[in-house]
């Protein structure tokens, strides 16, 4: 039988993830790994959602850093002069194209309640950038109706804004220490009008109109919504319906739980029909997460060049998100950073070892890739291609594709964190990124439901 997953379920799952982080009921870490090339040309492959792929990520992991912040996010749409935007529609699932909300040059976010149209009903380009922070919806000179939702602060923008996503949140209680941006969003939430008719959409243009008909909106529990009809005189059809302006505000009414639209008069031979669009139960602006259908969450962290447990002068090709990774003793790991590489100490070094070379134990024939060398400490990882045979204390360790050679002392020193533990929720394969002590990497992981 046909079935769907609703936007509400997607939003619920995203918020549950967010709440786990906010309430510290789960620990999330970003990991980096894979120092060896993908292939001879280092072509980046698409991750495959299989147990084998997840195991490979664990084997190649270098280090982890705790997620520093999370936010619900939505696809980013920056207002542009000449763009055409959809209007909010309570029958639309997901995100329509074109989109129905924008962010302007001042990082203000607006939702479009009505698309500008010609008298013939053709959507027109938006030429007036929405601006200001009025609590009420407003119409610009190009015919678009916008509603201000919130402003993204500089700090949240730095943490969560990307070229493709912008952060969204519901503002909690405010006090004397709250910022102006927080106070304004709370004001927008508190003044949201429930049960407003945000627009009227034509479902049948009718025929034979010689003058504009009358639009009457009736419904359960509500009142006050008024709209004006326009006809295309060339075709005798209803071309558009706009919510009526009353002075400085639009007459969207309030309190409707259901609304019906009647179109009468105008000399029609066939009456046109239309439907009323209602905002969310609490009103547009009461919860921007609902208004913008937020069903994605961003996990953000910054890896500094001086972060402990991270290798410098080494590259990585893989990023992953891990929930509740554990330490070598089996307890949930809670420190800021952690290394995930095995380590051996060398009793003697005959010839210096080099990063990224492959080593082999001359007694056990165990093999591994070198990730880092620190004095007599050699950090390494093993994969399916090397096998997972353990090295032996006291055996000769030699590079198979280089000159490095020495004798192991302690051949297996476990890392702070156990990469075999925790749930890997996300994998991102990428081109090599070489780390240094004078750079940082801002890593943003986005989970979409």
Residue 270 counted as domain residue: yes
- Tokens 């147990």 locate to 51
For residue 19, give the 3-state DSSP assignment: helix
- Cα–Cα distances in angstroms (integers) from residue 119 to residues 87, 116, 144, 212, 302, in the given order: 17, 10, 13, 11, 52
- Token representation of residue 335: 């420190």
Q: Are 87 and 126 in contact (CB under 8 A)?
A: no
* 31 within some domain: no
DSSP string, 332-383: BP-SSEEE--EEEEEEEEEE---TT-EEEETTT--EEEEEEEETTEEEEE--
Q: How many residues does the chain have?
A: 449
Domain shared by 117 and 223, yes or no: no
List the chain pLDDT tens, one digit each, 449 residues. Answer: 677 778 788 888 888 888 888 888 899 999 999 999 999 999 999 999 999 999 999 999 999 999 999 999 999 999 999 999 999 999 888 888 899 999 999 999 999 999 999 989 999 999 999 999 999 999 999 999 999 999 999 999 999 999 999 999 999 999 999 999 999 999 999 999 999 999 999 999 999 999 999 999 999 889 999 999 999 999 999 999 999 997 678 999 999 999 999 999 999 999 999 999 999 989 999 999 999 999 999 999 999 988 999 999 999 999 999 999 999 999 999 999 999 999 999 999 999 999 999 999 999 999 999 999 999 999 999 999 999 999 999 999 999 999 999 999 999 999 999 999 999 999 999 999 999 989 999 999 999 88
CB atoms within 10 A of CB 158: 12
Say yes or no: 140 and 289 in one domain. Answer: yes
Q: What is the DSSP letter of 123?
A: B
The answer to whether position 176 is within a domain reads yes
- Residue 332, in any domain of the structure: no
- Asked, for residue 368, whether it belongs to a domain, the answer is yes
Is there a single domain that holds both residue 169 and residue 290? yes
Separation CA 174–CA 71 (nearest Å): 19
Domain co-membership, 273 together with 294: no
**Domain end point (choices 222, 250, 278):** 278
What is the CATH number for 153?
2.170.290
Q: Are residues 171 and 260 in the same domain?
A: no
pLDDT score at 221: 87
In a domain, 409, yes or no: yes
The per-residue pLDDT for 20 is 86
pLDDT for 1: 63
Are both 154 and 230 inside the same structural domain? no
The structural domain count of the chain equals 3
Domain-embedded: residue 92:
yes
181 occurs within a structural domain:
yes
Residue 158 CB contacts under 8 Å (≥ 6 apart), including other chains = none
291 and 153, same structural domain?
Answer: yes
If asked whether residues 125 and 182 sit together in one domain, one would say yes
Is pTM beyond 0.85? Reply is yes
**54 membership: H or E segment, kind and range:** helix 51-60
Q: Backbone dihedral region of 176: left (phi > 0), alpha (psi from -120 to 50 degrees) or beta?
A: alpha
User: How much is the pLDDT for 185?
Assistant: 97
Instruction: Verify that 178 and 229 share a domain, yes or no.
Output: no
- The C-alpha atoms of residue 216 and residue 263 are separated, in whole angstroms, by 6
Same domain, 88 and 158: yes
Same domain for 179 and 227:
no
Domain holding 210, by residue range, is 197-278
Rounded to whole angstroms, the Cα distance separating 72 from 439 reads 27
Residue 96, pLDDT score: 85
209 with 230, same domain: the answer is: yes
């Amino acid at each position: 039988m046909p079935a769907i997953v609703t936007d509400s379920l997607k939003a619920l799952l995203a918020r549950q993830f967010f709440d786990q982080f906010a309430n510290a009921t789960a620990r999330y870490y970003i990991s980096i790994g894979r120092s060896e090339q993908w292939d001879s040309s280092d072509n980046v492959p698409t991750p495959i959602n299989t147990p084998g792929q997840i195991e490979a990520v664990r084997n190649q992991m270098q280090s982890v850093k705790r997620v520093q912040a999370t936010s619900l996010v939505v696809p980013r749409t920056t207002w542009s002069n000449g763009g055409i935007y959809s209007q909010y529609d309570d029958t639309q699932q997901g995100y329509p194209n074109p989109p129905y909300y924008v962010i302007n040059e001042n990082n203000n976010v607006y939702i479009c309640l009505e698309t500008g149209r010609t008298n013939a009903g053709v959507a027109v380009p938006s030429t007036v950038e929405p601006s200001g922070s009025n609590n009420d919806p407003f119409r610009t000179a190009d015919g678009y109706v916008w509603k201000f939702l919130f402003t993204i602060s500089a700090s949240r923008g730095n943490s969560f804004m990307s070229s493709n996503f912008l952060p969204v949140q519901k503002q909690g209680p405010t006090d004397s220490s709250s910022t102006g941006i927080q106070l304004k969003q709370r004001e927008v939430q508190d003044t949201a009008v429930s049960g407003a008719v945000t627009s009227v959409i034509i479902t049948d243009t009718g025929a034979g109109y010689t003058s504009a008909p009358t639009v009457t909106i009736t419904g359960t529990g509500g009142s006050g919504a008024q709209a004006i009809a326009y006809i295309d005189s060339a075709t005798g059809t209803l071309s558009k319906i706009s919510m009526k302006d009353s002075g400085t505000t639009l007459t969207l009414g309030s309190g409707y739980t259901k609304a019906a639209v009647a179109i009468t008069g105008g000399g029609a031979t066939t009456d046109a029909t239309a439907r009323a669009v209602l905002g969310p139960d609490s009103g547009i602006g009461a919860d921007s997460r609902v208004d913008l259908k937020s069903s994605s969450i961003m996990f953000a962290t910054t890896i500094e060049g001086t972060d402990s447990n991270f290798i410098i002068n080494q590259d990585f090709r893989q990023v992953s998100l891990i929930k509740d990774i554990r330490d070598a003793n089996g307890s949930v790991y809670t420190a800021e950073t952690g290394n995930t590489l095995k380590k051996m100490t060398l009793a003697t070094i005959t010839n210096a070892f080099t990063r990224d070379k492959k080593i082999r134990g001359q007694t056990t024939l165990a093999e591994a890739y070198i990730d880092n060398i620190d004095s007599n400490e050699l950090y390494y990882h093993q994969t399916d291609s090397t096998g997972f045979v353990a090295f032996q204390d006291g055996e000769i360790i030699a590079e198979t594709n280089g000159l490095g050679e020495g004798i192991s002392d302690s051949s297996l020193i476990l890392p702070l964190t156990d990469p075999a533990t925790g749930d890997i929720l996300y994998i991102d394969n990428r081109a090599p990124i070489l780390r240094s002590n004078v750079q940082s990497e801002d890593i943003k992981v986005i989970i979409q439901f």
